[in-house]
């Protein structure tokens, strides 16, 4: 244990207080999303809205997120990350309170739109702020701290959400609303200070900016991100309903599965960050994307707890590696003059997946053909293999690889 702590201290040494503040803020952000894993179950079982309608409502949220993702880059450029985050969390809190108190489809749709617009602000604002306070060579380590904070919070959020859902379902949205208001206060107070890149690293930053990937590589990374996100969107909609209605498990089981995901990413982030530094990120991205999609396919087809656990374990381990590697690679392909808009464009594909995924999943479940969801995930794994091969053929090679 002491050896692990020493390695962790060495890995994150010299990052500065601003990076650790942002990591704590990422944890708080994840804690404020306790209801996300239970939204489809809550609307179908407790608000008695049909699965196909719920799919349409959640897709409406995705559509709003697409619009927000394209707008938020300009908002961040105009108002800055701190003000953008504070306003977004206040709007998000209002949306969650509406979900807790209303059950009509129209009002639920409006609340989901508000939450979606607000949630699009976090990752672009975070990455813009992070890149402004770290040298490019430190961003892999800084981003792994973000992953640890986000997934540590997700592990707690899923467990807390499952417990609250089992007692008073609507209260989980009130919990999220309260944490969003806390996050807004944190954004105003703790992110006020600016931590500039240390002077001794300025020359290194200028040198690194000259090494950029091609536009084609940027688009390949966006496509890979889309296919793993739509596989997640499909599975995260269909799996909790199948676990409760077909396999007969308690909603707590889905909460524990999401907690296991967060714990695995949190505990293995140090290993993943170190591995990505020493190996070609393109291979890490391709293999992890394929493993994620195949793991979700196995979990979706599982008729026993053993297969369900096996597929979920593969998905969890793959996710440890893929998102940090994707972001590190992405940041090496874009320049500072369009950073906010480029990052927003990248994250907009998550919103596209969040729109298309629930529509497809709701159609599959209502048509008594839920097997289509894991089949799509398996096909997505094949597409990721093709895109990964294209990524490997690109000329740009990340400078983070140790030779």
**Residue 49 CA from chain centroid, whole number:** 27
Question: pLDDT higher for 344 or 339?
Answer: 344
Q: Which residues have C-beta within 8 Å of that of residue 338, sequence separation ≥ 6?
A: none
Domain contains 156: yes
Asked whether the predicted pLDDT for residue 8 surpasses 80, the reply is: no
Q: Domain residues for 287?
A: 10-392
pLDDT of residue 176: 94
Helix (H, G, I), strand (E, B) or coil at 400: coil
Asked, for residue 403, whether it belongs to a domain, the answer is no
CATH code for the domain in which residue 318 is found: 1.20.1250.20
Whether 223 is in a domain gets the answer yes
Q: How far is 369 from 242, CA to CA, in rounded Å?
A: 12
Asked if residue 343 belongs to a domain, the reply is yes
Q: How many angstroms separate the CA atoms of 257 and 289, rounded?
A: 20
Give the residue from 327, 264, 317, 308 showing the smallest Cα distance to 287.
317
Q: What is the pLDDT of residue 290?
A: 92
Residue 121: strand, helix, or coil: coil
State how far the Cα of 184 lies from the Cα of 198, in Å rounded to an integer.
28
Asked whether the beta carbons of 311 and 299 are under 8 A apart, the reply is: yes
For residues 10 and 12, give the distance between their C-alpha atoms in angstroms, rounded to a whole number. Answer: 6
pLDDT greater than 70 at residue 179: yes
In-domain check, residue 399: no
| Within a domain: 240 | yes
Query: What does the pLDDT look like over 381-398, one tens digit per residue?
Result: 888 889 888 888 875 444
Any idea which of 23-37, 119-133, 204-218, 292-306 has the lowest mean pLDDT?
204-218
User: How would residue 197 be classed by pLDDT, with cut points 50, 70 and 90?
Assistant: very low
pLDDT reading at 380 higher than 70: yes
Place of tokens 């209002």: 94
Per residue in 24-83, pLDDT (tens digit) is 888 888 899 988 878 888 888 888 888 778 878 877 887 888 888 778 888 887 888 888
Name the DSSP class of 304: S
For residue 45, give both structure tokens. Answer: 């079982």
Give the total number of structural domains in the chain: 1
287-330 pLDDT tens trace: 999 998 888 888 888 777 788 888 888 888 888 888 878 887 88
pLDDT at 196: 45
pLDDT of residue 1: 43
Average pLDDT, rounded, for the chain: 78
**Nearest-angstrom CA–CA distance, 344 and 76:** 10
In the predicted model, what is the mean pLDDT of residues 269-286? 78
Average pLDDT over residues 156-185: 88
Distance in angstroms (rounded) separating the CA atoms of residues 187 and 201: 27
140 falls within a domain: yes
4 found inside a domain: no
183's tokens? 């996050």
In contact, 121 and 65? CB cutoff 8 Å: no
pLDDT at 370: 56
């Amino acid at each position: 244990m002491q050896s692990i702590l020493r390695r962790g201290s060495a890995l994150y040494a010299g990052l500065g207080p601003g990076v650790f503040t942002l990591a704590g803020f990422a944890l708080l952000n994840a804690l404020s999303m306790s209801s996300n894993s239970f939204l489809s179950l809550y609307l179908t079982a407790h608000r008695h809205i049909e699965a196909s309608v719920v799919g349409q409502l959640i897709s409406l949220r995705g559509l709003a997120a697409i619009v927000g993702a394209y707008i938020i880059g300009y908002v961040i450029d105009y108002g800055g990350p701190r003000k953008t985050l504070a306003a977004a969390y206040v709007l998000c809190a209002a949306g969650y309170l509406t979900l807790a108190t209303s059950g009509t489809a129209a009002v639920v749709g409006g609340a989901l739109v508000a939450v979606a617009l607000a949630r699009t602000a976090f990752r672009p604002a975070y990455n813009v702020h992070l890149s402004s306070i770290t040298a490019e060579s430190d961003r892999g380590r800084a981003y792994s701290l973000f992953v640890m904070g986000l997934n540590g919070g997700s592990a707690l959020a899923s467990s807390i959400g499952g417990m609250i859902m089992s007692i008073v379902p609507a209260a989980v949205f009130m919990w999220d609303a309260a944490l969003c208001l806390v996050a807004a206060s944190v954004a105003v107070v703790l992110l006020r200070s600016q931590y500039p890149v240390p002077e001794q690293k300025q020359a290194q930053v200028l040198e690194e900016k000259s090494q950029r990937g091609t536009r084609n590589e940027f688009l390949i990374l966006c496509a890979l991100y889309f296919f793993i996100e739509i596989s997640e969107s499909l599975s995260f909609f269909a799996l909790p309903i199948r676990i409760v209605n077909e396999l007969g498990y308690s909603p707590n089981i889905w909460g524990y599965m999401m907690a296991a995901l967060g714990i695995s990413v949190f505990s293995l982030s140090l290993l993943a960050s170190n591995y990505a530094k020493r190996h070609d990120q393109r291979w890490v991205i391709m293999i992890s994307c394929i493993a994620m999609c195949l793991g979700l396919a196995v979990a979706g087809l599982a008729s026993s707890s053993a297969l369900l656990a096996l597929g979920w374990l593969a998905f969890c381990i793959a996710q440890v590696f893929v998102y940090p590697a994707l972001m590190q690679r992405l940041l090496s392909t874009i320049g500072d003059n369009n950073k906010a808009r480029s990052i927003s464009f990248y994250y907009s594909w998550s919103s596209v997946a969040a729109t298309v995924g629930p529509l497809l999943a709701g159609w599959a479940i209502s048509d008594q053909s839920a097997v289509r969801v894991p089949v799509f995930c398996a096909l997505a794994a094949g597409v990721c293999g093709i895109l990964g091969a294209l990524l490997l053929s690109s000329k740009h090679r990340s400078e983070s690889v140790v030779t």
